[in-house]
Structures are given as C-alpha cells and as structure tokens.
Amino acid sequence: MRLTRLATAIAALALAAPAAAQTYPSKPIRTIVSIAAGSVTDVIMRAAANELAPRLGQPLVIENNGGASGIMAGQSCAGATADGHTICVVYHSTLSFNPHLFNKLPYDADKDFDLITRLFFLIEGLAVSNGSGVSSVAELKTAVAAKPDAFNFGTLGRGSAPDLFLTWLNNQWQSKIPGVAFRGGGPVAQGLASGDIQVGKMGVGNFLALAEGGKLKLVAVDSPQRIKLLPNVPTMVEAGLGDFKFVGWWGLAAPRGTPAPAIARLNAEFVKLFNEPKFVEFLDKQVVRTSTTTPAEFSAFVKADRETAASLIKAANTPRTDFTPPDPAKK
C-alpha cells in the first residue's frame, strides 16, 4: 500500500511539472532594473518587455531601482517572492564587485539568486562636457594637471566599475579627480550635457544622442576596434588608457527558489529575443553586444568574473568597508 501511494505521488509530481510550465506566468512579471530610467539598460529592458509581453501572455512591469552600485536592487530581488513573477536585471556590480567591496551586504550574491541568462556586454565610452574645453584624452590629462579643481567624474557609487576606473585613472595620472555618484548612465550623460560634471565613462548608448547633438564629446571607446557609429573616436588603447581590463555586462536573475519551469521559460524567451536579427539590430544601435547563455553558463561566467573584479579592486587599492544604506531623502 505504501509503495502504491508513493508511486501515485511521484506520478502526480511528474504531471504537475509540465502543467506548471504551461500555466506560467499567471500574472504580471515584476522586473527590477538596477539602474535609473533612461539609461541604456532601462531602454533595452523596456523594449524587451514590449516584445515579450505577447509571447509570455503577461506584461513585464519595469521597476527602476538605481544607485548604490546595484545593492538596493539586489536586496529587493533577494527578498521577493520566489514564484517566477519577480525577475531582476543584475550586472557586474551586483554579483562580481560588491561581494569583494562591502561587508554587511543586504543580500548574499551566492545564495540569494537563481541565475537565468547573461544578456549583453556593454561597449563603454569616455565622455567629457563641452565646458571642459578638451577634445581628447591627451588634452584631458593636460587640463587636469593644470586645473585639478576644475574636473569631477560621474560614477554609480563607491565600488562601481566607473568608480574603480576613476581610482585607477587617478593613480595613473597622479591626480585627485573626485567622483560624483549618480543612479545610472542616463543621469551621468545629462550631468555632462548640463556641465554639472566634466567626465564620465558609461555605456556609449547613454552618450550617443547627446554627442550627435553636440551636447558633449566622446573622446574614447572601450572596444577592441573603433565602432561603426563613431569611426573618428579612438579606442581606449589608442588613447593611452588600455590597461584597465574590464568589460561590463548585464543579465537576468530571480530570487533563489524560483521554480525551475519558470527559469527555463524565461531563459528560452529572453535568449530567443536577444538573438533575433531585428532585436540584435536594435541592440547594435544601443551600442551593446548580445551575449546570452544558459543558466549554468551564466553561473560559471559570474564565478570567473568575480575573480577579475577582485584583481581590479586590488589594483585600485580599494579597501572593504561596511555597507551603509543610502539616505532615502537624497535623490
């Protein structure tokens, strides 16, 4: 009798798994984006949401939670219900840099997430404000030496990739350019256009329209070759800044314990979309490179990327500190 009951239970579970896959999703999918609205990743995810809503049968509701190197978004993701109806757009800071930089993180990068897929790599650009009076990296270096108090640099907070690049640059140039934290690449670009900051390094897509409109200047791109959209802008290597070895990336995760059928469905839909020619063409215009994976491949990639992050943090001589939540009154 016990064996019969056990066999019946196993059979029921086997039938339940396909049924769960067929009924998922059953309500809108909360999509936490670890960057400010208007930034390249936000633009991409909103476009993806429009494409995927009819395929999934439910809308993807974008929830921007930028700033603090992705920590607050990571906390929101880790604490969400793991039913497949919350997904999280994570990046190099969330999973690679922050575990090396902060004590008392409000999430565990290894235990709190189920990884879904890497989505794309960023192609970053170094940009300057028109008011900076410079048009090249060489001119920027000279101007910083002559007027050290006239420049500041947009970052995404302490320990973010732009912040580590700034630390590395200050070490290289023996300068003391201060960092100013923003909630995303879009706000950094607007800060450059308004003259609130003088230098920034973010995804090129954040700067492209403003550069084309003459509102700021791109002086280098972090790419092995010059890019087609900006043939006259030198690479970081050509500009003499090729020793900072890092490529930014973005991907999808879910709270740990999310049902496997939901992870599989999300992986299949996002991977398919991000490799369709029309969507790849759209991504090219955002100056990012699609690079989707299986969940297992994404996990292996993050493990290796965290080692790279540790090397960059060590080179930048950035010590670990306790994480202090940002003041919600400060925007």
What is the residue-wise DSSP string for 254-320?
A: EETT--HHHHHHHHHHHHHHTTSHHHHHHHHHTTEEE----HHHHHHHHHHHHHHHHHHHHHTT---
Asked if 128 and 100 touch (Cβ cutoff 8 Å), the reply is no
Domain that holds residue 276: 29-122+247-318
H or E segment and range at residue 118: strand 113-122
The reply to whether 143 and 179 lie within a common domain is yes
Catalogue the E-assigned strands of 1-50: 29-33
The reply to whether 40 and 87 lie within a common domain is yes
**Poorest-pLDDT segment among 227-236, 253-262, 291-300:** 227-236
Confidence of residue 328 (pLDDT cuts 50, 70, 90): low
Whole-angstrom Cα distance, residue 305 to residue 318?
A: 17
CB burial of 228-251 (b: ≥16 within 10 Å; e: otherwise) equals ebbeebbbbeebebeebebbbbbb
CB burial of 103-124 (b: ≥16 within 10 Å; e: otherwise) equals eebbbebeebbbbbbbbbbbbb
Q: How many residues does the chain have?
A: 331
Question: How many C-alpha atoms does 15 have within 13 Å on its Cβ side?
Answer: 6
Q: What is the mean pLDDT of residues 134-140?
A: 97
Q: What is the mean pLDDT of residues 163-176?
A: 93
Q: What is the mean pLDDT of residues 21-43?
A: 92
**Residue 326 is assigned to a structural domain of this protein:** no
The residue written with tokens 């003259």 in the block is: 195
The identity of residue 68, as a single letter, is A
Whole-angstrom Cα distance, residue 42 to residue 125?
A: 18
The reply to whether 47 and 136 lie within a common domain is no
**Residue 81 is assigned to a structural domain of this protein:** yes
What pLDDT digit, counting tens, does each position of 201-242 carry? 999 999 999 999 999 999 999 998 999 889 999 999 999 998
Number of domains in the chain: 2
The reply to whether 118 and 131 lie within a common domain is no
The reply to whether 111 and 143 lie within a common domain is no
Q: Is the pLDDT of residue 90 over 50?
A: yes
The reply to whether 129 and 208 lie within a common domain is yes
Q: Kindly list the strands in the beta sheet with 29-33, ordered across the sheet, starting from the edge strand earlier in the chain.
A: 60-64, 29-33, 86-91, 249-255, 113-122, 288-290
What pLDDT digit, counting tens, does each position of 267-290 carry? 999 999 999 999 999 999 999 999
What CATH code is carried by the domain that includes residue 198? 3.40.190.10
**Residue 256 is assigned to a structural domain of this protein:** yes
Whole-angstrom Cα distance, residue 116 to residue 255?
A: 10
pLDDT at 50: 98
Helix (H, G, I), strand (E, B) or coil at 225: coil
pLDDT at 151: 97
**Residue 133 is assigned to a structural domain of this protein:** yes
Structure tokens at 44: 């991409």
The reply to whether 211 and 130 lie within a common domain is yes
Whole-angstrom Cα distance, residue 92 to residue 309?
A: 8
What CATH code is carried by the domain that includes residue 117? 3.40.190.150
The reply to whether 48 and 102 lie within a common domain is yes
**Residue 111 is assigned to a structural domain of this protein:** yes
pLDDT at 316: 78
Whole-angstrom Cα distance, residue 287 to residue 285?
A: 5
Confidence of residue 324 (pLDDT cuts 50, 70, 90): confident
